[in-house]
Amino acid sequence: MKIGFIGLGIMGTPMALHLANAGHQLFVHTRSQVPEAIQAAGAVRCDHAAAVAREAEVVFTMVPDTPDVEAVLFGENGVAQGIGKGKVVVDMSSISPMATKTFAKKINDLGADYIDAPVSGGEVGAKAASLTIMCGGHAAVFERIKPLLELMGKNITLVGGNGDGQTTKVANQIIVALNIAAVSEALVFASKAGADPAKVRQALMGGFAASRILEVHGERMIKRTFNPGFRIKLHQKDLNLALQGAKEIGVSLPQTANAAQLMQACAAHGMGDLDHSALVKALELMADHPVSPD
């Protein structure tokens, strides 16, 4: 197939490569320079999103935030100016569920289909093609593009209509953030109490407290490896989406709000580009004690 891919960052580049390596022709556009690996895969660089949409049957977008998706789709030389009947837009960014419903309707009005398909799994999952992909849209359209999604992920679920994929991703980010906060508190407590945090983590991995977060991010906290797999500032954005949505539908998310404040503290100290496991640093500052020496 002729496939468009817009947004070739930490996540987008390996995802696009999986599509190219499967034999699909790529038409790409990104704000920065096209990565060498994408060029080597034979991708065609397009000057703008409209050109991508004119060439491709399916257009994937993977950009940071709601305004970025809106600009890519409906801004000057956006996808909407090149999209046509029978084509599909697949937004794999993590953005507002409410905005997604509006974007989908606008694309539908142009004769094209729309699937929201945010992902979980970070850079590691993107490289390994093991992402969890949460989809919203019509079942027939989902089945049509599912073989492409299977090149990038393993756990692929059609949750419901447009916007439901994004709602699922927000729920995912709530759970992940609260787990990171819990592991952070436990390891800060254990370390300041005088226990070896590495051995505490090892012991906990064999009990009911075991989790993927304790396994992966707990190790990051101990080894101080905070190079970004998923940046604090992006997770902070997702939690703000959760809190905004909670306000709109009238529910309280007190623990989510607390986790958002911890990430805000990290961002205020210049740590927004660190991995979200660095949330532990906010608690370390309050405790005046690191889990392990930097």
Look at residues 235, 197, 237, 232 and name the one whose alpha carbon lies nearest to residue 218: 197
Say if residues 210 and 230 touch (Cβ distance below 8 Å).
Answer: no
Closest listed residue to residue 277, CA positions, set 208, 229, 211, 237: 229
Q: Please calculate the CA angle 184-178-277 and round it to the nearest 5 degrees.
A: 45
Set 87, 169, 237, 281: catalytic member? 169
The residue type of 197 is P
Distance CA 109, CA 32 (A): 31
Q: Let me know: does 98 contact 247? Beta carbons within 8 Å.
A: no
C-alpha to C-alpha distances, 21 to 25, 42, 43, 191, 233, nearest whole angstrom: 9, 10, 11, 46, 31
DSSP E strands, 30-150 = 44-45, 58-61, 88-91, 113-116, 119-120, 131-136
Of 184, 182, 139, which Cα lies nearest the Cα of 160? Answer: 139
> Which residue has tokens 């989510």?
256
| Cβ-based burial of 140 (10 A; exposed 0-12, middle 13-18, buried ≥19) | exposed
Short-list 246, 249, 215, 236, CA closest to 279 = 236
Examine the residue annotation and report whether 169 is marked as an active-site residue of this protein. yes
- The answer to whether residues 273 and 232 touch, using CB atoms and an 8 Å cutoff, is yes
Q: Which residues are part of the catalytic machinery? A: 169
